[in-house]
Amino acid sequence: MFRAIRVTAVALHALLVATASTAGACSVSATSMAFGPYEPLTFAGKLASADRTADATVSVVCTAISSGGSYTITLGPSSQGNSIIPRYLTHDAGGPGMAFNVYLDGAYSMVWGDGFTGAVISGTIPGGDSTSSHTVFGKVPAGQGSLQAGSYSGSLTMTVTYNP
């Protein structure tokens, strides 16, 4: 018996928190992560479960900033399981979630989190106009043999804090 499992996408949504009023404005956006089909089972000589990976770009675009500063971007827990390590994608018909996570490095060793659980993205904002981009890396680990067939998806909230 084979199960068709598709991971549609992980969407990252932004919430901007400014710690002081500044002239100008910044916006934050991210591309989605699409993991594609996932094989949860391994049968010797027939099927092999493997990690599924994807990446996304987080962009910070600022215009007319009167004085520079720094920012941090945290990533909240998944809605299913309300956890950061691991996070879970939600099955389209309910049921158990698919474990995954988002990392700051391509070696998948530094989980992007809230600063208490996992690390944060940080950067500087110069005066004037600027654009900063950060690549983040997602991974669905192999061997989740109890998953139901169907589609899994999720969204996570990025919180951006500006420090003048």
In the numeric block, which tokens belong to residue 32?
């989605």
pLDDT at 65 over 80: yes
What is the arithmetic mean of pLDDT over 16-23? 53
In one letter, which amino acid is 144?
Q
- For residue 8, what pLDDT is reported? 55
What does the pLDDT look like over 111-156, one tens digit per residue? 999 999 999 999 998 989 999 999 999 999 999 988 888 889 988 9
Domains and CATH numbers, the chain: 5-163 (2.60.40.1090)
22 confidence band (pLDDT: 50, 70, 90): low
> Distance (Å, rounded) from C-alpha 17 to C-alpha 39?
39
pLDDT at 32 over 80: yes
2 confidence band (pLDDT: 50, 70, 90): very low
The sign one gets for the Cα dihedral 111, 113, 118, 121 is positive
Work out the number of other CB atoms within 10 angstroms of the CB of residue 50.
13
- Give the CA distances from residue 135 to residues 60, 70, 110, in Å, rounded to whole numbers and listed in that order: 12, 18, 13
Higher pLDDT: 45 or 160? It is: 160
pLDDT at 98 over 50: yes
The reported pTM is 0.88
Ranges 14-18, 78-82, 89-93, 158-162: which has the least confidence: 14-18
> Distance (Å, rounded) from C-alpha 107 to C-alpha 104?
9
- For residue 89, what pLDDT is reported? 92
Strand 128-140 and strand 69-75: the pairing is unpaired
- Beta strands (DSSP E) in 19-149 are 25-30, 36-37, 52-65, 69-75, 87-91, 98-103, 121-125, 128-140
143: left (phi over 0), alpha (psi -120 to 50) or beta: left
